[in-house]
Amino acid sequence: MKNENACLLEIMFDKTQNSAVEIQSKIEKLLKQKLRDITKLEALDSSHKTVKLVICGSLNTIDECHDLINQFIIESKLNCIRITDDAGDIIRERAYPILSEIEQRFRQFINQAILDVGDVDFEYWETIADSKLQDKVELIRLKSQESRVPLHPLECTLFEDLLDIIESKVSKLSEDQPLYVADIIELLSRSTSIKKLKSEIEKSVEKISYWDRIFSRYFQDKQQWNSIKQSLKFVINERNKVMHHRPIRLGVINALLSKKNEIFSILETANFELTQEEKIETQQDIKDLQTAVDKMEYRLYPLGNSLIPTDEFLEDLEMLSVSEQKNFYERLYFLEHLANNDLLMNHHSFNKLPIKLHANNIYIFKVNRLTRILCKLDKHKDYQHPVITLIGIFKRNSNFTEDDLLRKIGKLED
């Protein structure tokens, strides 16, 4: 436990900008009103490139010194880095449990709003979260599996992403996206006139808000969200300071306690005892959102476009033997055919298949360079594309037959 009466602050400065004597002189002048409370202040040559400033005092004293020193550093455009910050460590330790309570209470609200009232199954995450967020969360879950602790995706979602879930907006069709034949057929099936068709198109491109359709239903005052949103953004900013060991001020503790009380009091007003009519409307809204996400995911992964070979790939392919090239193209042809099969285009298998394969230690990140170039794939995007994942399986295991693959998919569908 750090001693609040003897907090050490050490900052390393660029010696090419100021010598040790200059740093000490400027800091003493800067902190002249605080010198009586500072038990130690000196600047030392740390190396031929750096000067180390050392200040020691009580928690309150060092906290007050921070503002003055930060202003000096900014105005003088000095290069520096903090190497010891005892006061910051004490403040971060006090802030962490407050931040934890706020974050967990907010997760509880999201889960209850969707699961308990929305009448969806426990795997609602796969149809509520968009693909980018699912990818991000799945990576965290995979890393957590090493400790063999079962985690719900909501538990692996970063705090700032929780806020995005509530504020996100989706539409069945995007204004800048070309219509597929299936989209046109669906629109025409619901239209009996040009006027009706226009209305259906307008509804299809209309942005559906998670807040408007789901979460706001539980509050009498709809404007409360604007207040809680600003408070959550403040909390997230301070949380990042705590988690990443950035400078933080003592006054933040009282500010966080105030924000916690505000957030909790607003969330406590949430009324989950909706009328039967309101429940039916909420359930339908959730289905609309799920449908919009389905449509959006379908548009995000045009299967054929991901399989166009690049010039770089073709150059690398020439290095393979004729038989290896033939073998590769045969497998690729089969995968293209499989990608257009209804089995893979079924929404649930489309989303679950890659995740299940990851659980079996078949990662898209482990495919070889040829496959990555072929699919125009980088490490952090599109790894949920089933075709790309399946190519990864084939490239890693040339003995993997069509029957083997179909059996694996069959098991996943059970």
Looking at 268, 288, 317, the residue that finishes a domain is: 268
Cβ atoms of residues 18 and 11 within 8 Å: no
* 173-202 pLDDT, tens digit each: 666 656 666 666 776 777 777 777 777 777
Residue 19 inside a domain? The answer is yes
Supply 21's token pair.
Answer: 């004597």
Angle at which helices 131-144 and 159-167 cross, to 10°: 150
The verdict on residue 94 lying in a domain is: no
- Collapse the DSSP code of 51 into the 3-class scheme (helix H, G, I; strand E, B; otherwise coil) and give the result: strand
232, 159: one domain: yes
H/E stretch holding 55: strand 50-57
Asked, for residue 246, whether it belongs to a domain, the answer is: yes
Let me know whether 237 and 111 are in one domain: yes
37-41, 83-87, 167-171: least confidently modelled range: 167-171
Q: Is the pTM value of this prediction over 0.85?
A: no
Give the domain range for residue 373: 303-413
The answer on 363 and 244 residing in a single domain is: no
Residues 68 and 120 in one domain: no
Q: Are residues 58 and 142 in the same domain?
A: no
pLDDT tens for each residue of 378-404: 333 333 343 444 444 444 344 544 455
Q: Are residues 121 and 255 in the same domain?
A: yes
Instruction: Give the pLDDT confidence score for residue 116 in this predicted structure.
Output: 67
CA distance 380 to 242: 26
Question: Residue 217 — pLDDT band, cuts 50, 70, 90?
Answer: confident
Over residues 202-212, the pLDDT tens digits come to: 776 667 677 77
Name the DSSP letter for residue 121: -
H or E element: which one contains 327? helix 322-339
Q: Is residue 218 part of a domain?
A: yes
* Same-domain pairing of 120 and 263: yes
- Residue 87 in any domain: the answer is no
C-alpha triplet 396, 397, 403: angle, nearest 5°: 135
CATH of the domain at 13: 3.30.1370.10
Tell whether 74 and 111 lie within a shared domain: no
- The arithmetic mean of pLDDT across residues 245-267, rounded, is 94
- Predicted confidence at residue 122, as pLDDT, reads 66
Q: 18-32, 36-50, 96-110, 190-204 — which is least confidently predicted?
A: 190-204
The arithmetic mean of pLDDT across residues 307-331, rounded, is 50
Neighbours of 224 (CB within 10 A): 17
136 and 63 housed in the same domain: no
Tokens at 24, concatenated = 């000490």
- Cα separation, 161 vs 236, in Å, equals 10
Q: Which of 173, 162, 168, 147 is nearest to 292 (CA)?
A: 173
Same structural domain, 235 and 381: no
Cα distance between the two ends of the chain: 54
**Looking at per-residue confidence, does 407 or 376 come out higher?**
407
Residue at which a domain ends, from 250, 268, 286: 268
Question: Does the pLDDT at position 10 exceed 60?
Answer: yes
Give me the number of domains the chain comprises: 3
Phi and psi (nearest 5°) for 365?
-65, -20
Whether residue 201 lies inside any domain: the answer is no
In order, the DSSP letters of 232-278 are HHHHHHHHHHHHTT----THHHHHHHHHHHHHHHHHHT------HHH
Residue 358 confidence class, pLDDT cut points 50, 70, 90: very low
Instruction: Tell whether 238 and 143 lie within a shared domain.
Output: yes
- Separation CA 13–CA 208 (nearest Å): 52
* pLDDT score for 113: 80
Tell me: do 216 and 322 sit in the same domain: no
Provide the token pair at 405. Answer: 């693959």
